[in-house]
Structure 1
Amino acid sequence: MAGTGDRGAAWARWLGAGILGLFLLPVSLSLEVSVGKATSIYAVNGTEVLLPCTFSSCFGFYDLGFWWVYNGSDTFRILINGTVKNEKSDPKVHLKTDDRIILVGSTKEKMNNISFLLTDLDFSDTGKYTCHVKNPKEKNLQHEATIFLQVVDKLEEVDNMVTFIILAVVGGVIGLLIFILLVKKLITFILKKTQEKKKECLVSSSGNDNTENGLPASKAEEKPPTKV
């Protein structure tokens, strides 16, 4: 009996945890932050680069806080800190630790963009850039996304020769298959026409023989019976 009671209590705890998880799941998945599909970007020394970040929330937001953090080989610092009052307000910057940073984000037309432009790049700018977002409307729920920036002397040109060769081979194979199918259809058509002509010839020949031999299947006219 005791074992049955323990199992019942365990099932009750599991059920309660499951129900609680169902209630918490929408909240945990509501606030999302994204820096795009690329996990790494490359930029040339002395130029500028756009570090993208967008956010979304199923429950909306107010006084949403955001900040960008740089994590280099031996440096960790907050680059920019700001808030977004509501869906109709553009991001407002409260703190910016580098004059090279230009916030280019906007929340108008539901863009929810808090990206920034980093100008006059230096090799020391190489590192991880993490975009953090906190939404008071969701009990200060936080989410973040990270992108890696690599500052280089020059961008290497991608050698597309292998790609061109592969495409040419694939295109050639496809073209050959199409040619084979066309030839096959042509041969089938010629054979069909040849067989039809052969059948017509046999039928015509059979009709002539029947006519000459006076067979029942012939086209010979029947002579009327001779009158006595």
Structure 2
Amino acid sequence: MLTFLALASVVILGIVPKQSQAIVIYTGWERHALVGSDIRLSCSFFSWRWTSEDVTFSWTYRPDGSRDTLSIFHYTGGVPYVDNKGPFRDRLEFVGNPSRRDGSILIKNLDFSDNGTFTCDAKNPPDIVGRPSSVRLLVFEKVPIQAGVITGAIIGVVLGLLVLIVVIYYLMRFLVARRVFSLSVSKHGKKKKEGSQQRQLWTPPPLTCYPLP
């Protein structure tokens, strides 16, 4: 009887228990930066629900060549908490916007020792089930030659394709215009020739002279 009443109340009042759904977290795949520069590490998420007031973001860091993972940042209850004892003390700043599902952080004055993997985790209650996303940071003294060559090659190929498309476009326009002009001249010449032939075929009637009375 109690079960029947509970089901009836759900149907009548529209009381449906909230169910947790999966949350998808996004970060970059790999970031490059120069020594002494600043870098923004982006983190966002997708959830079917509205952004909760209890949304949380957490960042962890694992240096290259190490198995230890350090907690470097946590956002909860509308307040950001930065680790003040780790390698990023006084160099990490929260630059995200939780209301827009943005949990990005800014790391300042990069050094070679900052190379490693940064992992972001987000929760949007009741959606709390999701796989954290990781981004690897590589700090260089100068821009890697390989990356510059690849970027230059991509830009060159794109520009080359654009130039080729423009050349083909104008070439086709020229050929079409030339063809139209040739047809027009040929048609005009044919009409002129036919008119001349018709004038040659027509001969006036002979004149007949009659004596005067």
Instruction: Give yes or no for TM over 0.5.
Output: yes
Return the match for 1:102 from 67, 75, 93.
93
Which of 57, 63, 72 lines up with 1:79 in the alignment?
72
For 1:188 and 1:170, locate their aligned partners in 2 and report how far apart those are by CA, in whole Å.
27
Specify the SS of the correspondent of 2:132.
Answer: strand
Which residue of the partner structure matches residue 128 of structure 1? 117
1:150 to 133, 138, 144: 138
1:66 is paired with a residue whose SS is: strand
Take 1:142 and 1:192, find their aligned partners in 2: how far apart are those partners? 69
Q: Using the alignment, how far apart are the partners of 1:27 and 1:174 within structure 2?
A: 51
Q: Offset at 1:162?
A: 4.4
CA RMSD of aligned residues (A): 3.0
Report Cα offsets for 1:27-70 as digits up to 9, x if no partner.
544x22212xx411112223322111122322232423321111
Residue 54 of structure 2 corresponds to residue 67 of structure 1: no
Which residue number in structure 2 is paired with residue 113 of structure 1? 102
Counterparts of 2:54 and 2:60, CA distance in 1: 20
Q: How does 1:122-201 map to 2 (within 5 A)?
A: 122-138=111-127, 140-156=128-144, 158-159=148-149, 162=153, 166=157, 169-170=160-161, 173-174=164-165, 176-178=167-169, 180-201=171-192
**Hey, what does 2:80 align to over in structure 1?**
93
Q: Please, which runs of 5 or more residues in structure 1 have no aligned partner?
A: 1-25, 86-90, 215-228
SS at match of 1:193: helix
Shift of 1:134: 2.6
Contact kept, 8 Å, 1:135 with 1:141, in 2: the verdict is no
Match of 1:15 in 2: none
| TM superposition score normalised by structure 2 | 0.67
Gaps of 5+ in 2: 1-18, 206-213
CA displacement at 1:151 relative to structure 2: 1.4
The AA in structure 1 aligned to 2:32 is Y
Question: Aligned-pair distance for 1:167?
Answer: 5.5
Task: Identify the structure with bigger relative contact order (alpha carbons < 8 Å, sequence gap 6+).
Answer: 2
Give the letter for the 1:81 counterpart.
Answer: H
Going from structure 1 to structure 2, the CA distance change for 1:129 and 1:161 (only over 3 Å counts) comes to closer
The alignment partner of 1:136 has SS state of coil
Q: What SS class does the counterpart of residue 199 from structure 1 fall into? A: helix
Q: Tell me which residue corresponds to 2:48.
A: 58
Q: Report how far residue 94 of structure 1 moved.
A: 4.0
The number of equivalent residue pairs is 177
**TM-score, normalised to structure 1's length?**
0.63
